[in-house]
Amino acid sequence: ALFPPRLTATRSMQTTLSALGALGRPTQLSMNGYEVVSLLPYRDPLVRALILEAKYHQHTKAHELLGAVLAEYLLSLQEDAPFESPCFVLVPVPLSKKRYRERGYNQAECIVREALKLLPDAFLLDTRLVRRVRDTPPQTKLGRSARLSNMDDAFALTGALTSNCTYIVIDDVTTTGSTLRAVLQAIPGKVLGISLAH
């Protein structure tokens, strides 16, 4: 039997970095006093295809393209840093143990690892700083009001912070922003949030 390729996979394979870069519109999101930026419009079919392939199918090219967009934005942060030798710690939003076992990977971490290939040593990855302490229903299965409270107290800080570093929490996609906000709330000090798409 022959199975037609997924439309999202086809779109992901056909997407180029220049085409994706042309869609880049870093947008400040209002998130209870936290500085959060979204890099791409989720409503665009190419962006949506890449996010879905990265999230549910561990699509290597989707990770690479999204990682390149992330790296470009992170480099602009380094250029604007007010001191000579900034340190940036990248914290992918963690999955629950159950979801990680089911999926076998964390798409946000995969994207960050691709970005790190294009970044200087000032950027570090920390996958243990925050952990999910409460399993929650998938956000995609909830209405807006339920999403807003679903992630309350779902994350906890489990590692030590370095005083001269800026911590950057990275998620693949945000709608209400409740997941990203919950992770940001778990990290005291100078912390930023980045969503690949919104």
173: Cβ–Cβ under 8 A, 6 or more apart, which residues? 42, 51, 55, 195, 196, 197, 198
What gap in Å lies between CA 63 and CA 154, rounded to an integer?
A: 26
Residue 84: its pLDDT value, please? 63
Question: Residue 1: pLDDT band by 50, 70, 90 thresholds?
Answer: very low
Average pLDDT value for residue range 72-92: 86
Under the banding of pLDDT at 50, 70 and 90, the label for residue 150 is: low
Note the helical H segments in 80-177. 97-103, 107-116, 144-150
* pTM as predicted: 0.90
**Range among 60-69, 94-103, 144-153, 168-177 rated most confident:** 60-69
Count of alpha carbons within 13 angstroms of residue 159, beta-carbon side:
14
Look at 33 and 118; give whichever has higher pLDDT: 118
Mean predicted confidence (pLDDT) in 44-70: 97
Instruction: Tell me how crowded residue 67 is: count the other CB atoms within 10 A of its CB.
Output: 22
- The whole-number average pLDDT for the span 19-28 is 93
In contact, 17 and 65? CB cutoff 8 Å = yes
> Among residues 154, 185, 167, 171, which one has the least CA distance to residue 34?
185
Looking at residue 140, its pLDDT comes to 60
* Per-residue confidence (pLDDT) for residue 20, from 0 to 100: 94
Q: What is the pLDDT of residue 80?
A: 79
